[in-house]
Amino acid sequence: MSKPVKGFSKLSKEEKITWLSEHYFADKEKGVDILKKYWNRDERLQQLHDEFIENTISNYYLPLGIAPNFLINNKLYTIPMAIEESSVVAAASRAAKFWMDRGGFHAEVIATEKIGQVHFIYTGDPQKLRQFFIRIKPTLFSSLEDLTANMRKRGGGITGIELVDKTQALEHYYQLHCTFETLDAMGANFINSCLERLAEVLQEEADAYSDFSDDEKDIQVVMSILSNYVPNCRVRAEVRCPISELNEDPELTPSSFAKKFVQAVAIANAEPFRAVTHNKGIMNGIDAVVLATGNDFRAVEAGIHAYASRDGQYRSLSKAEIKEDEFIFSIEIPLALGTVGGLTNLHPLVKLSLEILDYPGAKDLMQIVAVAGLAQNFAAVRSLITTGIQKGHMKMHLLNILNQLEASKEEKTHFTSYFKDKVVTHRDVTRAVEEYRAQQG
């Protein structure tokens, strides 16, 4: 049984692993061997990975795949995707090929505003607070000049500061609601540094403000932090074509396919239980590209799911419609991404991923990521309304099952061919492998 440990962070990596193996591994040698197999042989590269986070003991790999044939705004892309789930990259690639022959994807960035807030408590006269804010607003802006100088040279910086009364939601709660333009940087550190400076100035100015009583001077700053909800940092992507061109599914006429597709998306918009899985499929594409390009997929996930609930009910992120004889499928989502700073300047595979994408700026990457989500959603809904999701997914999952059964290279070749025209289930694969091995003696 494990015991508390003191000074763990001061131990060397070898010492951390020794402690871990002594307390947690049933087979100490095997556990340590697995950890060390995932170390990079290049010591400098391994040190780089070790220093990304704290208490590093090894590397945790995800496959990096590529999905070619994405025609976006008349430019052809091959999109890198880091993900562990079978069929995601294949589905994205199929959707890309399908739409490349029908004009490709069209995407546009609607806005790039990011948000940060200084949250504080004030128990005095609201009118006095409003007058105080009007008076110090220029000082708040000027206090940031040194922090924003480089960003302003490139056309960014802080774009707005507003006092927001939130007392109806929480007693005595107010905030400075601040907006920023961070260009090709995601901007988290920049925004948070600006907010912390604003909090200091707010407190100092309140203490010196003569119109406040002693009680009113007691503005209590609770916290200063950026928001990962960025409804005014949005991107839209769409595909469209004549209904007659939706002609690659032999089981459905183009018109029936379009109507059924639109109905499936409408169900996801109306039913939260379906919407969650529908949007999870979209995030398969989005997260995979966000990870491959060194961005924060947790922040992206949180912001996008909040946006899906913006009217009080969780809904589909995508929209499908028929206008006259045209099928239109689109997505509009908030995305705060960066192509400079953070891991984009450090992780070698992130650098390669950005090179594969032809060194996109943040706006370009927003469009690429939105398209990846839309492509994934198209592939998933298309499967659901035709062959069903399991046929294609389990075909891609076949190798995972065979690996669980410790199949040899010869066995993998044999069963890939054997199940080519059969339904794949874990039970059927296990039974087939057992029978094959029995026959082989």
pLDDT score, position 315: 98
pLDDT score, position 390: 56
What is the separation, in whole angstroms, between the first and last Cα of the chain?
Answer: 44
Residues 6+ apart with CB under 8 A from 42: none
State the CB neighbour count (10 A cutoff) for residue 401: 21
- What 3-state DSSP class applies to 70? strand
Percent over 90 (pLDDT), the chain? 81
Q: Which amino acid is at 309?
A: S
**322 near 112, Cβ under 8 Å?**
no
Q: What tokens does 63 get?
A: 């496959």
CA 56 to chain centroid, in Å, comes to 23
Of 184, 296, 364, 411, catalytic: 296
Band (102; pLDDT cuts 50, 70, 90): very high
pLDDT tens per residue, range 19-49: 999 999 999 999 999 999 999 999 999 999 9
Residues 6+ apart with CB under 8 A from 399: 86, 412, 416
pLDDT score, position 115: 98
Band (392; pLDDT cuts 50, 70, 90): low
49 is catalytic: no
Alpha helices in 155-244 (DSSP H): 188-208
- The answer to whether residue 393 scores a pLDDT higher than 60 is no
**390 near 350, Cβ under 8 Å?**
no
Unique residue bearing structure tokens 């995800």? 62
280 is catalytic: yes
How many residues are given for the chain?
Answer: 441
- The answer to whether residue 1 scores a pLDDT higher than 90 is no
**Closest by CA position to 32, among listed 50, 43, 19:** 19
114-226: CATH topology is: Alpha-Beta Plaits (3.30.70)
**205 near 153, Cβ under 8 Å?**
no
Residues 6+ apart with CB under 8 A from 217: 206, 207, 209
Band (198; pLDDT cuts 50, 70, 90): very high
pLDDT score, position 15: 95
Band (3; pLDDT cuts 50, 70, 90): confident
Residues 6+ apart with CB under 8 A from 153: none
Looking at per-residue pLDDT, the higher value among 147 and 396 belongs to: 147
Residues 188 and 182: their CA atoms lie apart, in Å, by 9
Residues 424 and 82: their CA atoms lie apart, in Å, by 25
Percent over 70 (pLDDT), the chain? 96
User: What's the mean pLDDT when you consider all of the chain?
Assistant: 93
**Closest by CA position to 88, among listed 391, 372, 427:** 372
pLDDT score, position 418: 78
Band (300; pLDDT cuts 50, 70, 90): very high
pLDDT tens per residue, range 301-352: 999 999 999 999 999 999 999 999 999 999 999 999 999 988 888 999 999 9
Angle of helix 389-404 relative to helix 426-440, nearest 10 degrees, comes to 40
Residues 373 and 381: their CA atoms lie apart, in Å, by 12
Band (58; pLDDT cuts 50, 70, 90): very high
**299 near 225, Cβ under 8 Å?**
no
Strand pairing of 157-165 and 318-323?
unpaired
**67 near 81, Cβ under 8 Å?**
yes
pLDDT score, position 334: 98
Residues 6+ apart with CB under 8 A from 158: 141, 144, 148, 178, 179, 180, 194
Paired with 226 in beta bridges are: 116
Of 16, 347, 363, 393, catalytic: 393
Q: What tokens does 441 get?
A: 């003696």
- The answer to whether residue 9 scores a pLDDT higher than 60 is yes
**325 near 244, Cβ under 8 Å?**
yes
- What 3-state DSSP class applies to 267? helix
Strand pairing of 220-226 and 318-323?
unpaired
- The answer to whether residue 93 scores a pLDDT higher than 90 is yes
- What 3-state DSSP class applies to 31? helix
pLDDT tens per residue, range 207-227: 999 888 877 677 999 999 999
pLDDT score, position 250: 85
- Angle, vertex CA 246, rays to CA 244 and CA 248, nearest 5: 120
393 is catalytic: yes
Of 166, 280, 351, 412, catalytic: 280
Residues 265 and 321: their CA atoms lie apart, in Å, by 9
pLDDT tens per residue, range 233-275: 999 999 999 999 999 888 899 999 999 999 999 999 999 999 9
**173 near 166, Cβ under 8 Å?**
yes
Q: What tokens does 206 get?
A: 């309140």
Average the pLDDT over 391-414 and give the result: 73
Domain ranges of the chain: 8-50, 64-111+234-387, 114-226, 393-440
At the second CATH level, the architecture of 64-111+234-387 is: Alpha-Beta Complex (3.90)
pLDDT score, position 409: 81
Q: What tokens does 96 get?
A: 């890309």
Of 85, 196, 218, 332, catalytic: 85
Helix, strand, coil fractions of the chain, as percent rounded to 5: 50, 20, 30
